[in-house]
Amino acid sequence: MSGSSRRAFLLRSLALGVSAPTIASVLAGCTGDDGPPFGNPATRQRADDAARYRGHIVVAPLENPPKAAQEALTRAYREHQPDVRIYWQARDYTDTGAYGQWLGRQLSASRVGPDIVTSGYAPDFRGFVDFNEYRAQVNPYTGQAWEKDYDFGKYRELTAEGTRPELGTDQLHLLWYYNKEIFASANVSPPKNWREVVEVSRKLKKAGHIPLSTNFDYILPGWICSVYFDQYHPSWSTAVRSQPGDWNWNPELDGDFDYDANDPALHAKYTYSAQRFYQALKAKTLRYDTPAMVELVTNLIRVFPQYSNGDFFAYTDQYLPFVQGKAAMLVDGSWSLTLLHKDLQSLTESRAKKLGIKPGKLQPFDWDVFEFPPMEGPLVESRPRPPEGTTGYHLGVVEKDPEHTEMVMDFLMFWLSKPGYTAFLQGTSDAGELAPAGPPMVNGIEYPRDIADLLGKVQQKGIVGPAYGSFWVNGPGGGRTTQILQALFTNVLQRRTPPQEYATQVQKTIETHFADILANTGLTEDDVANPARRPRSV
């Protein structure tokens, strides 16, 4: 997948296609008795009375697996279900928008063709299977509940209706990467707080380096703004969470909620109520014209854009300046752990083409990672919580007639459990493209040692970001209000507007354009006034 596809990673980051050595060359550098690649692939034999299927399944996700991976998975599944044909319609899309348009056309047809898709690109489609209904079902290929094969409990990725229409193959973690050699030459160390981010960036720029490679497309307005807004506003969770009597109140989850500002999993321990969020905005009990917002924005403009890459405001792939040794730091997802390792070791011709550079033009360097440096001060209420979640291959199932849907789910349960995922990974490795985007969501998977060591840099904490974290920059995600808020943010970054005035403008914009905000969320004034009533748009 090309760098342009990274636009979609604002909240749901997907793994990039990448070249990597074959399993033989990976294992050649390992020592010890590691056993088979990816763990023992042996599967439990299906019982004689287990379901047998006949038909065909069309697989068409956004991410295009290597042909060898497609064939390996298909071959392994057909050893159990020889009468099921698997047709792969995956291809390399120019960008995620092209896939979304294609998927929209498919799902609006009188007869939907694809069975397995990346459902996140059709958020308004209500015909996807809810995987929660299958998680306790016995997987016939392992003899245990599917939720013991796939870690459903790791992340609570649910829709507003409480359904789970999509599963990801890898665990996502956001990190700061840094070039150890550049840091050493500039005599600086990884920053431990935001004040040190500013100071380290100043020294790096003085030494002639790009201090920090980011972009204005999704990294700053999506990730960074949300993480640091949460540092100042964790208590907003008490205002936006579902309350007893609300239509989406979950007594098992919400009944045990205990507010702890520094709990890494704070936002995973309540049900978010969009109605209560907008109700609080309308009542002005949640506000943006506050000293906390002024301090937050003041901190941000001490770094952005002056210490970022020169084309910061024009969309760019922030990975390239870092891997080329031009930028000293990079904010990116866990997928770059394996990308960097492989790109710097052996840049293949196909990978170089995707990056837009010539093969053999990368100079290897030592690098490492560190967690988000905290902002500090009397107005800060918590430690940073960079959101985690799933990444990799995102898979959803289109619900059709019951027998066909059961067949598709049988295949998906095989794929997202050790027997099928082992075959899939082996095919990926055979194609020279083994580069997981994070630790596996499928239990029992063991990567080759060098990849396992890279993924070991990630310390998952079960963090879920606040649903409202970047609202002050991105608004409801569409409409006039979003355009205004993004323009205001651009102005304050470019020092055209002082932070105090900016905070006032944000608050005034929300008050003035509240009707536009609701129109772009699908909620009505009555919905906001009555959290006990389920909105028609949900």
Mean pLDDT of 310-322: 85
Triad 135, 57, 94: Cα angle to 5°:
95
Residue 8: pLDDT over 80:
no
Encode pLDDT of 36-46 as tens digits: 455 444 333 44
Long-range contacts at 352-356 (CB < 8 A, ≥ 24 apart)? 354/1, 354/2, 354/3, 354/17, 355/3, 355/317, 355/319, 355/320, 355/323, 356/3, 356/320
Is the CB of residue 194 less than 8 Å from the CB of residue 298? no
Residue with tokens 């609701």: 518
Q: Which residue has the higher pLDDT, 310 or 530?
A: 530
- What residue ranges do the domains of the chain occupy? 6-15+44-171+389-456, 174-215+313-380, 229-297+466-529
Report which of residues 485 and 10 the model is more confident about.
485
Phi, psi of 318 (to 5 degrees): -65, -15
What would the mean pLDDT of 226-231 be, rounded to a whole number?
A: 98
In DSSP terms, which residues pair with 369 in a beta bridge?
177
- As a whole number, mean pLDDT of residues 2-20 equals 30
Distance CA 533, CA 264 (A): 31
Residue 210 structure tokens: 């790009």
Is it the case that residue 141 has pLDDT exceeding 80? yes
Q: CA angle, corner 377, sides to 372 and 380, nearest 5?
A: 65
Q: What is the pLDDT of residues 411-442, one digit of tens each?
A: 999 999 999 999 999 999 999 999 999 999 99
What does pLDDT average to over the chain? 89
So what's the pLDDT on residue 529? 97
Q: If we measure between CA atoms, which residue out of 382, 384, 381, 388 comes closest to residue 463?
A: 388
Contact 254, 474 (CB under 8 A): no
Question: Which residues in 354-390 are b (16+ Cβ under 10 Å) and which e?
Answer: bbebeeeebeeeebebebbbbbeeebbebbbbbbbbb
Q: What is the pLDDT of residue 361?
A: 73
Q: Looking at residue 12, what is its pLDDT?
A: 34
Using pLDDT thresholds of 50, 70 and 90, give the confidence band for residue 10.
very low
Q: Can you give the pLDDT at residue 27? A: 23
Q: What confidence score (pLDDT) does residue 518 get?
A: 95
Q: What per-residue confidence (pLDDT) applies to 508? A: 98
Chain mean position to CA 334: 10
Nearest to 230 by CA among 465, 59, 1: 465
Q: Which residues pair with 86 in a beta bridge?
A: 57
- 3-state SS of 465-505 is CCCCCCHHHHCCCCHHHHHHHHHHHHHHHCCCCCHHHHHHH
CATH no., domain 6-15+44-171+389-456? 3.40.190.10
Q: Give dist(CA 414, CA 426) in Å, integer.
A: 15
The tens digit of pLDDT for each residue in 58-82 reads 999 999 999 999 999 999 999 999 9
Task: From residue 178, give the alpha-carbon distance in Å to each of 31, 56, 171, 254, 322.
Answer: 28, 47, 21, 39, 8
Q: Give the residue-averaged pLDDT of 130-135.
A: 96
Could you give the percent of the chain with pLDDT greater than 90? 78
Contacts of 127 (CB under 8 A, 6+ apart): 107, 112, 398, 399
28-32, 87-91, 210-214, 365-369: least confident range: 28-32
Looking up tokens 């996807």, which residue turns up? 128
pLDDT at 316: 72
d(Cα 112, Cα 135) in Å, to the nearest integer? 25
Q: Which sign, positive or negative, has the C-alpha torsion 204, 206, 208, 211? A: positive
- What CA dihedral angle connects 329, 223, 394 and 101, to 10 degrees? -110
> 6-15+44-171+389-456 and 174-215+313-380 share one CATH topology?
yes
Q: How far apart are CA 471 and CA 492, in angstroms?
A: 16
Strands 84-88 and 55-60: parallel
More confident residue, 361 or 259: 259
Alpha-carbon span 417 to 152, nearest angstrom: 12
How confident is the model at residue 194, as a pLDDT?
Answer: 98
Chain segment 474-521, per-residue pLDDT in tens: 999 888 999 999 999 999 999 999 999 999 999 999 999 999 999 999
Residue 427: phi and psi, rounded to 5, are: -65, -40
What is the distance between the alpha carbons of residues 498 and 419, in angstroms, rounded to a whole number? 58
3-state secondary structure of 298: helix
Beta-carbon contacts of residue 117 (< 8 Å; ≥ 6 apart): 60, 61, 103, 106, 395, 396, 398
What band does 315 get if pLDDT is binned at 50, 70 and 90?
A: low
Assigned superfamily of 174-215+313-380: Periplasmic binding protein-like II (3.40.190.10)
Q: Which residue has the higher pLDDT, 515 or 8?
A: 515
Q: What are 329's strand-pairing partners?
A: 178, 212
The CA–CA distances, whole Å, from 62 to 3, 35, 314, 411, 495 equal 14, 33, 25, 18, 39
DSSP structure string for 402-458: HHHHHHHHHHHHHHTSHHHHHHHHHHHHHTT----SSSBSBTT-B--HHHHHHHTT-
- Burial degree of 196 (CB within 10 A; 0-12, 13-18, 19+): middle
Does residue 348 carry a pLDDT above 60? yes
Residues with Cβ < 8 Å from 409, sequence gap 6 or more?
129, 134, 397
pLDDT at 38: 57
Residue-level pLDDT at 4:
31
User: What residues are paired with 212 via a beta bridge?
Assistant: 308, 329
Least confident span in 138-152, 352-366, 457-471, 480-494: 352-366
**What are the phi and psi torsion angles at 86 (to 5°)?**
-110, 120
The span from the CA of 167 to the CA of 303, in Å, is 36
In the chain, the amino acid numbered 502 is: Y
